[in-house]
Amino acid sequence: MKCRTCGSKAVINMRQHKLALCKPHFLEWLPAQTERFIKKYEMFTRYEKVLVAVSGGKDSLSLWNILIKLGYQADGIYISLGIGEEGGYSDLSRQLCEDFSLDRNQQLHIVDVKKEFGETIPQFAQRTRRGKNKACSVCGLTKRHVMNQVAQKFGYDVLVTGHNLDDEAAVLFGNTLHWAGEFMLRQAPVLPATPGLTRKGKPLCRFYEKEMAAYAILSDIDYIYEECPYSIGSTSIYYKHQMNLLEHDNPGEKSHFYLRFLRAKDNGLFAPPEIIKQDLHECSNCGQPTSGKDVCSFCRMLEQGNEHLERSQVN
Task: Using CB under 8 A, list all residues that contact its own copies.
Answer: 176-179, 181, 184-185, 238, 242, 245-246, 249, 253, 256-257, 260-261, 263-264, 267-272, 275-276
Identity of the residue, 150 or 243, whose beta carbon is nearer to its own copies in the bound complex: 243
Shortest Cβ distance from residue 261 to its own copies (Å)? 5
Question: Counting beta carbons within 10 angstroms of the beta carbon of residue 121, is it exposed (0 to 12), middle (13 to 18) or buried (19 or more)?
Answer: buried
Residue number with CB closer to its own copies (71 or 272): 272
Smallest distance from the beta carbon of 249 to its own copies, in angstroms?
A: 7
CA pair distance 121, 135, nearest whole angstrom? 7
Which distant-in-sequence residues (6+ apart) come within 8 Å of 54 by Cβ?
60, 61, 63, 64, 76, 77, 78, 97, 100, 108, 162
- Tell which residue, 54, 74, 44, 56, has the closest CA to residue 161: 54
* Burial 246-271, CB ≥16 within 10 A → b, else e: ebeeeeebbbbbbbebbeeeeeeeee
What is d(CA 239, CA 25) in angstroms, rounded to the nearest whole number? 32
242 or 306: CB nearest its own copies: 242
Question: Closest distance between its own copies and the C-beta of residue 285, in Å?
Answer: 31
CA gap 79, 54 in Å, rounded: 8
Parallel, antiparallel, or unpaired: how do β-strands 158-160 and 190-191 relate?
A: unpaired
Q: Residues of 291-302 as b/e, b for ≥16 C-beta within 10 angstroms?
A: eeeebbbbbbbb
Q: Which residues pair with 200 in a beta bridge?
A: 159, 191
Judged by CB, which is closer to its own copies: 184, or 295? 184
Give the nearest distance from C-beta 125 to its own copies in angstroms.
22
- Do residues 174 and 132 make contact, with C-beta atoms less than 8 angstroms apart? no
Q: Which is nearer to its own copies, 32 or 276 (CB)?
A: 276
Q: Which is nearer to its own copies, 70 or 259 (CB)?
A: 259
- State in angstroms the smallest separation of the CB of 305 from its own copies: 30
CB of 263 to its own copies, least distance (A): 7
Q: How far is the CB of 247 from its own copies (least distance, A)?
A: 11
User: Would you state the torsion angle of the CA atoms of residues 202, 207, 208, 213, taken in this order, to the nearest 10 degrees?
Assistant: -90
- CA pair distance 43, 51, nearest whole angstrom: 12
Between 262 and 286, CB nearer to its own copies: 262
Phi, psi of 50 (to 5 degrees): -110, 135
Are the C-beta atoms of 110 and 94 separated by less than 8 Å?
yes
- Least gap, CB of 186 to its own copies (angstroms): 13
Q: Name the residue nearer to its own copies (CB basis): 217 or 271.
A: 271
